[in-house]
Amino acid sequence: MNKPKIKLNRLEKWKGSLDVCIRCGYCFAHCPIYKDTRWETDAPRGKMTLIYGLINGEVEPTDYVAEKLLECFYCKRCENNCSSSLPITQIFTDAQADLLEAGFDVKGTTSVTNRGQCTLCLECVRLCKHEARSYDGRIVVDTVKCQSCGSCIDSCPRMAISMNLGFGTNPDEMRSEITGFLKDDKRKNAKAIVFCCNWSNYPGFQVAELVSEDPDPEYKILVTMCSGRVQSQVIMEAFAQGAWGVLVTMCPEDKCEHDGNVRTKMRINSLKKAIHELGIGPERVQLEIVEKGNQKQFQDGVKKFMKEIKDAGPLKRG
Ligand code: SF4
Ligand code: SF4
Ligand code: SF4
């Protein structure tokens, strides 16, 4: 066994436990990052293997390894499905802290601030439930504390915040998915966008994925790490691209790990008023509360929404 090349003070304590991972792979099918890239090193099992190698000196600590270990949305789907009940995200947090302490300057999926756009209003500092943002003459993000929920994105009046790596969940990535779906000439049935919270709607989302096997589906599901991440501008983009309606699904009010849903509710209510002023019926933007994993609630909510917007018909262009 080789000696690790850097100090791994926090990871040391997991030395024995990592043997418990039998590499079954129950975790990786649930990981939104793996789903996006299909690379083993982006899956929780791959990351556990990297950590095992780091501890045993078989994997050299490099920027690439550090970047991989800082890619995690902390959705805990892997943990909930781990056949060995390993506290996977705690292990990742310790790996991140050790690697950052060893001098690796990587950001993975953490939130970043565009300093040119930031006016230092400190709204994001007040909002972050995980105390990952602070002010030190400029906005500083604690890379280990940041849970990559993205709730701060919508809090910024200057649109200065994004995720360093979004894996399809950054506002510009969502916009391009929306345009790609609604403006695809091959699709004749495309009508709506459904934002699906990673926490509450899974595995309801899995069921809905079966619907997406339809070559010409009526709606597209976009997964976000928290409903709090869906900006009004992104919702309005859907209308600009011809959507008949937009549905946002979120957790029950006291069940959001990031308190993102409280703001989602306020945002959707003010958006309903704003679109009404523009002559767009408020029923075109809907909010559905879905308890964690409640497939029926998710499906019923989507069905009801689709019926209502189909009854309303396409948006009239003025
Ligand atoms: S907690 Fe991280 S590694 Fe685990 S499934 Fe979620 S994003 Fe993937
Ligand atoms: S709100 Fe979420 S994404 Fe933003 S800094 Fe805090 S933990 Fe990170
Ligand atoms: S909310 Fe935006 S403008 Fe305000 S401090 Fe944070 S990043 Fe800067």
pLDDT class of 210 with cuts at 50, 70, 90? very low
pLDDT at 203: 53
For β-strands 219-224 and 192-197, DSSP reports them as parallel
Distance 241 CA to ligand 1 centre (A): 32
CA contacts within 13 A on the Cβ side of 49: 13
Q: What is the mean pLDDT of the chain?
A: 89
Whose alpha carbon is nearest atom 1 of ligand 3?
Answer: 156
Which sign, positive or negative, has the C-alpha torsion 288, 34, 46, 151? negative
CATH assignment of 111-163?
A: 3.30.70.20
Q: At the top level of CATH, which class does the domain 11-101 belong to?
A: mainly alpha
For the chain, what are the domain ranges?
11-101, 111-163, 171-312
Arithmetic mean of pLDDT, 196-215: 63
pLDDT at 106: 94
Q: How far is CA 308 from CA 133, 172, 213, 285, 286, in A?
A: 41, 28, 23, 11, 10
- For residue range 44-86, what is the model confidence (pLDDT) as tens digits? 999 999 999 999 999 999 999 999 999 999 988 899 888 889 9
pLDDT at 50: 95
Distance 130 CA to ligand 2 centre (A): 7
Whose alpha carbon is nearest atom 3 of ligand 1?
Answer: 44
Q: At the top level of CATH, which class does the domain 171-312 belong to?
A: alpha beta
pLDDT at 138: 97
Arithmetic mean of pLDDT, 226-247: 92
Arithmetic mean of pLDDT, 99-125: 96
pLDDT at 110: 96
- For residue range 114-125, what is the model confidence (pLDDT) as tens digits? 999 999 999 999
State percent of the chain over pLDDT 90.
Answer: 60
pLDDT at 107: 94
Pocket of ligand 2, candidates 109, 110, 161: which has the most ligand atoms within 8 Å of its Cβ, to mutate? 110
Is the predicted pLDDT of residue 128 greater than 80, yes or no?
yes
Residues facing residue 250 across a β-bridge: 289
Check residue 273 and give left, alpha or beta (phi > 0: left; psi -120 to 50: alpha): alpha
Q: What angle do CA 248, 131, 126 make, to 5 degrees?
A: 70
Is the predicted pLDDT of residue 284 greater than 50, yes or no?
yes
Q: How far is CA 126 from CA 134, 145, 258, in A?
A: 9, 15, 13
Arithmetic mean of pLDDT, 271-290: 92
- For residue range 138-189, what is the model confidence (pLDDT) as tens digits? 999 999 999 998 889 888 999 999 999 998 888 899 999 999 999 999 999 9
User: pLDDT: is 205 or 132 the higher one?
Assistant: 132
Is the predicted pLDDT of residue 96 greater than 90, yes or no?
yes
Residue type, 45: R
Q: What is the gyration radius of the CA atoms in the chain, in angstroms? A: 21
- For residue range 223-235, what is the model confidence (pLDDT) as tens digits? 887 888 888 899 9
Arithmetic mean of pLDDT, 104-127: 96
Q: What are the pocket residues of ligand 3 if the criterion is a CB atom closer than 6 Å to any ligand atom?
A: 113, 118-124, 139, 155-156, 158, 160-161
In three-state secondary structure terms, 238 is: helix
Pocket of ligand 1, candidates 89, 96, 149, 257: which has the most ligand atoms within 8 Å of its Cβ, to mutate? 89
Is the predicted pLDDT of residue 94 greater than 90, yes or no?
yes
CB–CB of 128/151 below 8 Å?
yes
C-beta 134 within 6 A of ligand 2 = no
Arithmetic mean of pLDDT, 10-17: 91
pLDDT class of 202 with cuts at 50, 70, 90? low
What are the residues whose beta carbons fall under 8 Å from the beta carbon of 273, sequence distance 6 or more? 282
